[in-house]
Chains A and B, each alone.
Chain A
Amino acid sequence: MKLLDLEKQEEVEAEIVEVKDSDFKLIKKTKQFEFDWIKEKKNHVFKIIALNDERAKPEIHGLLSVIDVREEYRIHINLIEISNDNKSPNKKIDNVAGCLIAFAIQIAFENNYNGFTSLVPKSELINLYVNKYGFSQFGRQLGIQGREAIRIIQKYQ
């Protein structure tokens, strides 16, 4: 995974790992995230950190909450949020959301779901997700799979 440091205009190698129980308190304490991530604990929650961050508790640049819907061979993105420092317009690091989406798609390939990844976004935001990431709309849901899903992975990994 490669993030983009906007200040230095250079790529930063990053990794996405599962959020531990102890991380949830820290996430709340830093006040870098608007949503209550403790409520996502019932799902699989992942964090993205820069590999060159050698602090004991590396800065979390973004969070991803996914649900494995095995009976329908799909990964469902429940929530993605980037830290406040990286939200537009004054963001320091770019590509955080793209890397997290690519990671959700990666899980969908690893689980043999043909990369099928879905979400049910707020209706006001549907067109923006369709245009930015190439999701297709069907009813309330958005989905991506196959070649479109591969395109996202090739772009962000």
Chain B
Amino acid sequence: MKYDKIYQELRKKYTDEEIAESMMIPADLTKEEKEESDKEIREYRMNLLRNMSDEDMILSDVMRLRFQIEEYVKKEQFSMDKTFGKYLAEYIRVVKKTRKEISEDLSIHYTKLSRIINDKEEPNIELSYRLEKHSGNLIRAKIWWKLMIKKHEFILVRDEKTRKREQKKVKNFLRA
């Protein structure tokens, strides 16, 4: 009764509501009870999997994609394999639509969409808002926007040609 003993102690200080708010305490099951409980959940789980609708699967895949993008944006270095365009292509695959259908859904010209997917053209903020709405707010505009920023930041620090060209145009600069 390893958890029950502590639970009984906690009840002397807190109500059940307060305990439930701040803890999830497992039941102390006997071996037989645990086997029975595991069997129940296994059957329930397998039944759920068999009866999953296409829409449920799409929502689940969109959530997975969201966490992949968040992980990349927060922790990984920029990669040309993980641009806005690449993730947009993945989003289209996940929601099981054609590029034509998505271009209509998002009110964006098919050619423009294809250019963005192929990293031939940069997306804009407006597209981020539209994608947020299209994903049922599951992938926020901010996350799409961060994908753009990540690429721009990578290019900005390396683009010596543009830096030199643009800095030649500057006058009266501070001499630090």
Contact = CB atoms under 8 A, between A and B. Distances in A.
Instruction: State whether these chains interact.
Output: yes
Interface of A: 34-36, 39, 72-74, 77-82, 86-89, 91, 96-97, 101, 106, 109-110, 112, 114-116, 118-125, 128-129, 132, 138-141, 143, 145-147, 150, 153-154
Contact of B23 (A81, A123, A146, A147): A81
B176 interface: no
B33 interface: yes
Contacts of B21: 88, 97, 132
A81 B27 CA distance: 15
Given A73-B49, A87-B22, 20 more contacts: A73-B45, A74-B41, A79-B25, A87-B14, A88-B17, A88-B21, A109-B64, A109-B67, A114-B48, A114-B49, A118-B41, A120-B26, A121-B24, A122-B7, A122-B26, A124-B16, A128-B20, A138-B44, A143-B45, A145-B48
Given A35-B6, A120-B29, A138-B40, A79 B24 contact: yes
Interface in B43-95: 44-46, 48-49, 52, 56-57, 59-60, 63-64, 67-68
Say whether chain A's binding surface is mostly helix, strand, loop, or mixed: mixed
Contact of A141 (B4, B20, B41, B68): B41
Say whether chain B's binding surface is mostly helix, strand, loop, or mixed: helix
A123 B137 contact: no
Contacts of A141: 37, 40-41, 44
Given A78-B26, A110-B64, A138 B59 contact: no
A72 B41 contact: yes
Nearest to B63: A109
A56 to B, nearest CB: 21
